[in-house]
Amino acid sequence: MPTLLIVDDEKNIRARLADFFRGSGYQVETAENGRAALDYLNKSGAVDLVLADFRMAEVNGLELLQRIKGEMPETSVILMTAYGTIENAVGAMKAGAYDYLAKPFSLEQIQHVVERALEIRSLRAENRTLRDTLEERPILDSGSEPMRRLLDTARQAARSEATILLTGESGTGKNVLARQIHRWSGRSSHPYVMVNCATLSEHLLESELFGHMRGAFTGAIKDKPGRLEAADKGTVFLDEIGDLTPALQTKFLRFVQEQAFERVGGAETIRVDIRIIAATNRELAAEVAEHRFREDLFYRLNVITLKVPPLRERAEDILPLAERMLRAETIRNHRPELKFSPEAAERMRKYTWPGNLRELRNAVERAVVLASGDTIEPDHLPDNLFREPLPDSQPVSAQVPKNLESMEREVIIRVLGESPTLEDAAQTLGINASTLWRKRKRYGIE
Ligand SMILES: Nc1ncnc2c1ncn2[C@@H]1O[C@H](COP(=O)(O)OP(=O)(O)OP(=O)(O)O)[C@@H](O)[C@H]1O
Ligand SMILES: [Mg+2]
């Protein structure tokens, strides 16, 4: 059951909205102003969505939005405003609002916006990454020469305006690096906007990116600026760019070339100044060869390509990374210091970490929960680390039933069947939920 927090200084509006959403099955809390809302959030933790009035005494809607985005960025915020001007709207979107509604609005309209926000939110596996990168400072040194070179190049490239394409296996840290490149760049005081191309339908993604005009499609009840408008002067990070549909590739190409676009259903050309970073864990060149990805767009994006190496190719980093993650994790859990036993450390060092830094981090988090003394023993590590490697004697081809894809498909089906939620399944597989979502779609699983 999704939880909503309704913040409005008008008692009637509060009560009316609360009744309505309770009736639709939401768990609803109310607050009479921004200060009360912050008190509630600090005391009781995050909610899924905050619906806040724009104009309130003390802490107004915009300030509330900024505080929420700073402290609990995974909470979606919708602002309600009596002053539905475009300036307000763009300002709110820039500050990270999911959407705004101009008063007066109908209950049906607000329900539509809330449902859509929650739908998009639940698909947004980037939330967790966003929280992670805000919560902790990324670890940006390495004992591996190729990784150090990559970080140096990234730092240099950050200061240019060039488009950057990040490639590399799932969990190698592409999202974390993209955000860091923004911080290193001259645009760091401007917005950083992330859009995952894999998790939204073509239609939703188009309007998320470019915005839309009222009446452009059913449910477009008003003009809405897109995320590219909100990213003006800043950086946009397009995650899983390999998943852009052909139609959106075409529209996006124009944006990359001209820094201009129209909202869906709009005639006015909007010009922006945006630095583009894109990421993919697909082989884009192969996608081009197979005509699934436009060659001209590929060359536009492929100005500076940074291939983040998998963890097994920088094995010297495994233990130092694990130790720093362990320290961060014990501090966060207010636990006394923990260390890895020599046997546990040896296991970690020898394992191949197919899920890369994400898998390593999950293993460390899990071990912190399971360890009761002051040492992490092999028992506290996930079973995966102990599965025997493929025996050398048998040819690999004899163990692979058909091909890699069908094997992957079978494993996904099995793990999905054993996991209560998509997130759990993703964790077991060591990939993120959006990747799993996409694979499930690609393999046509259920
Ligand atoms: N430099 C880093 N320092 C600390 N932790 C990191 C670092 N890079 C990655 N991680 C950890 O690994 C997780 C996965 O990183 P990230 O989401 O950036 O990978 P990705 O390459 O984008 O994966 P995918 O292709 O699946 O989207 C992060 O949430 C974080 O916990
Ligand atoms: Mg990613």
**pLDDT of res. 44:** 81
pLDDT exceeds 80 at position 405: no
**pLDDT of res. 445:** 77
**pLDDT of res. 387:** 75
Residue-wise over 45-82: b if at least 16 C-beta within 10 A, else e?
Answer: ebbbbbbbbbebeebbbbbbbebbbeebbbbbbbbbbe
Q: Which residues line ligand 1 (CB under 6 A)?
A: 129, 132, 138-140, 168, 170-176, 281, 357-358, 361, 431-432, 435
Please indicate whether the domains covering 3-123 and 130-307 agree at the CATH topology level.
Answer: yes
pLDDT exceeds 90 at position 84: no
CA gap 102, 39 in Å, rounded: 26
**pLDDT of res. 442:** 78
**pLDDT of res. 70:** 78
Probe target for ligand 1 pocket from 139, 140, 176, with the most ligand atoms within 8 Å of CB: 176
Probe target for ligand 1 pocket from 357, 361, 423, 434, with the most ligand atoms within 8 Å of CB: 357
Answer whether 242's CB lies under 8 Å from 282's CB: yes
Quickly state the pLDDT bin for 18 (edges 50, 70, 90). very high
Residue having the nearest C-alpha atom to atom 23 of ligand 1:
171
Answer whether 317's CB lies under 8 Å from 140's CB: no
Cα of 432 from ligand 1 centre, angstroms:
10
pLDDT mean over 327-342: 87
Which of 35-49, 67-81, 169-183, 390-404 has the lowest average pLDDT? 390-404
pLDDT exceeds 70 at position 119: yes
- Max Cα separation, the chain? 75
pLDDT mean over 132-157: 84
Cα of 241 from ligand 1 centre, angstroms:
17
Which whole-number Å values give the CA distances from 138 to 142, 174, 183, in the listed order? 12, 12, 12
pLDDT exceeds 60 at position 440: yes
**pLDDT of res. 397:** 44
Amino acid at 329: E
Residue having the nearest C-alpha atom to atom 26 of ligand 1:
170
C-alpha Rg value of the chain to the nearest Å: 23
Quickly state the pLDDT bin for 85 (edges 50, 70, 90). low
CA gap 312, 353 in Å, rounded: 6
What's the CATH fold of domain 130-307? Rossmann fold (3.40.50)
Which whole-number Å values give the CA distances from 323 to 174, 368, 398, in the listed order? 21, 12, 38
Answer whether 261's CB lies under 8 Å from 126's CB: no
Probe target for ligand 1 pocket from 123, 132, 144, 439, with the most ligand atoms within 8 Å of CB: 132
pLDDT mean over 1-9: 92
Which whole-number Å values give the CA distances from 93 to 88, 104, 154, 240, 438, in the listed order? 9, 20, 29, 23, 27
Cα of 172 from ligand 1 centre, angstroms:
5
CA gap 217, 220 in Å, rounded: 5
What's the CATH fold of domain 311-387? Helicase, Ruva Protein; domain 3 (1.10.8)
Cα of 172 from ligand 2 centre, angstroms:
8
Which of 160-169, 258-267, 389-398, 421-430 has the lowest average pLDDT? 389-398
Whole-prediction pTM: 0.67
Strand intervals (E) in 19-160 = 27-31, 49-53, 76-81, 99-102
Cα of 393 from ligand 1 centre, angstroms:
35
Number of neighbouring beta carbons within 10 Å of residue 369: 11
Average pLDDT, the chain: 86
Tokens found for residue 41: 């959030």
Tokens found for residue 337: 């210091």
Which of 4, 16, 8, 96 lies closest to 44, judged by CA?
Answer: 4
pLDDT mean over 407-433: 82
**What are the extents of the domains in the chain?**
3-123, 130-307, 311-387, 392-446
Answer whether 29's CB lies under 8 Å from 6's CB: yes
CA gap 413, 445 in Å, rounded: 7
Which of 306, 268, 289, 425 lies closest to 355, judged by CA?
Answer: 425
Cα of 62 from ligand 1 centre, angstroms:
31
Judged by its nearest atom, the ligand closest to the C-alpha of residue 169 is: 1
**pLDDT of res. 395:** 42
pLDDT mean over 71-92: 75
Residue having the nearest C-alpha atom to atom 16 of ligand 1:
173
In this predicted model, which residue has the larger pLDDT, 248 or 393? Answer: 248
Q: Which range, 110-119, 196-205, 279-288, is most confident? A: 279-288
Residue having the nearest C-alpha atom to atom 13 of ligand 1:
358
CA gap 431, 92 in Å, rounded: 33
**pLDDT of res. 400:** 45
Probe target for ligand 1 pocket from 358, 366, 434, with the most ligand atoms within 8 Å of CB: 358
Cα of 12 from ligand 2 centre, angstroms:
43
CA gap 410, 180 in Å, rounded: 36
Cα of 371 from ligand 1 centre, angstroms:
24
Residue having the nearest C-alpha atom to atom 17 of ligand 1:
175
Answer whether 77's CB lies under 8 Å from 96's CB: yes
Answer whether 260's CB lies under 8 Å from 241's CB: no
Residue having the nearest C-alpha atom to atom 30 of ligand 1:
358
Report the CATH superfamily, name and number, of domain 3-123. Answer: Response regulator (3.40.50.2300)
Among residues of the chain, what percentage have pLDDT more than 90?
Answer: 48
Under CATH, which number does the domain 392-446 receive?
Answer: 1.10.10
**pLDDT of res. 46:** 75
**pLDDT of res. 130:** 47
Residues 148-179 have pLDDT tens digits of 999 999 999 999 999 999 999 989 999 999 99
**pLDDT of res. 1:** 81
